[in-house]
Amino acid sequence: MTNPYAPPQAVVEDVVDPAAGIQLADRGTRLGAAMLDGLIFGLMVYLPFVLAFTLGMSGSRAGQFSSTASWIGLILGGIGFIVWMYFTVKFLGENGQSIGKRACKIKMLRTDGSEVSISRVIIGRNIINTLLGIIPLYGIIDALFIFGNARRCVHDYIADTIVIKA
């Protein structure tokens, strides 16, 4: 007689079979791609705000901030964000790569080896992960998961993705 209260029994494979010719991306390469993505985002979106604020403060008298400079920074930052978003969505749609992943020659796949959808990346790897970021120390825990045998962070488990060499 089987116990109706017993936990389910299943064999679950965590990562694509290495015999399939898929090689997981190195931890350092993933870190480099993430840093490159952050740098590109910062240069395209945050830098115009900082420059406009700096120029607005230096061009005004008596420490007053120029509202024209803030509008220019907002517009340039918005344009930078739109350009960044265009290329990110374009690369993700083509082959599961962000700008940094493309430069580092790595890409995302589902754990079964199929292509990853843009919605899975945006919702699972970005939105949910950002919301979980309000939990203290979550960011550190998410990053430390990369040191497991599967080389997957928490956001990879959430989105059911792996990062491989392209």
Residue pLDDT, tens place only, 115-144: 999 888 889 888 999 999 999 999 999 999
pLDDT confidence of residue 15:
54
Among 63, 39, 42, 61, CA closest to 51 = 42
Number of helices (H), then strands (E), belonging to the chain: the values are 8, 2
pLDDT confidence of residue 53:
76
Q: Which domain holds residue 111?
A: 18-165
- Separation between Cα atoms, residue 2 and residue 163, nearest integer Å: 40
Q: Quick check: is 13 in a domain? A: no
Q: Is the pTM of this model over 0.75?
A: yes
Q: Quick check: is 125 in a domain? A: yes
Q: Quick check: is 3 in a domain? A: no
pLDDT confidence of residue 28:
93
Q: Quick check: is 5 in a domain? A: no
Q: Quick check: is 6 in a domain? A: no
pLDDT confidence of residue 155:
93
Q: Quick check: is 50 in a domain? A: yes
Among 125, 55, 75, CA closest to 96 = 125
With a cut of 50, list the residues of the chain below it in pLDDT.
19
Q: Quick check: is 10 in a domain? A: no
Domain count, the chain: 1
Q: Quick check: is 7 in a domain? A: no
State the sign of the Cα–Cα–Cα–Cα dihedral 79, 84, 85, 89.
positive
